[in-house]
């Protein structure tokens, strides 16, 4: 078995392309927003037929958060894969702090003193 076949990536585990993800999000958004206009029309028809403003207001109240929910769902990222880390790793920072860094020869103390006139 050669080195290339051992490091092969399975296509079935590949993430969808950015264009495919964008298209799916647009479809979700349009599907959700497709309920907004009919809800407004239905509220008008219900009010015209029954003259009951409470039912029409209830339909309108249900349709108010639809754009907000549609934007949240459309902007959501795809679910995490099985290989992605789902927790925070505790531990020291990756880079040492300034206090723990040892001075170099240039930054260190001068070994001799300099007198005026030397």
Per-residue model confidence (pLDDT) at position 58: 95
Inside any domain, residue 35: yes
Closest CA to 77 of 15, 13, 9: 15
Give the pLDDT score at 99: 61
Q: CB of 67 within 8 A of CB of 33?
A: yes
Q: Does residue 21 fall inside a structural domain?
A: yes
Domain that holds residue 70: 14-74
Q: Note whether residue 60 is domain-resident.
A: yes
Answer yes or no: is 52 within a domain.
yes
pTM of the model: 0.52
Structural domains in the chain (count): 1
- What is the pLDDT at residue 16? 76
Predicted confidence at residue 12, as pLDDT, reads 64
Q: Is the residue at 18 inside a domain?
A: yes
CA distances, 21 to each of 24, 44, 50 (Å) = 5, 36, 44
User: Which portions of the chain are predicted below pLDDT 70?
Assistant: 1-14, 80-118
């Amino acid at each position: 078995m050669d080195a290339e076949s051992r490091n092969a990536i399975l296509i079935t585990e590949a993430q969808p392309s950015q264009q495919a993800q964008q298209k799916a999000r647009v479809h979700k958004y349009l599907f959700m927003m497709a309920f907004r206009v009919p809800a407004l029309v239905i509220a008008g028809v219900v009010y015209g037929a029954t003259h009951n403003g409470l039912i029409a207001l209830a339909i309108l109240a249900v349709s108010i958060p639809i754009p907000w929910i549609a934007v949240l769902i459309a902007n959501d990222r795809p679910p995490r894969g099985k290989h992605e880390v789902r927790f925070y790793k505790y531990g020291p920072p990756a880079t040492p702090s300034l206090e723990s860094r040892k001075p170099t020869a240039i930054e260190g103390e001068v070994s001799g003193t300099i007198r005026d006139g030397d």
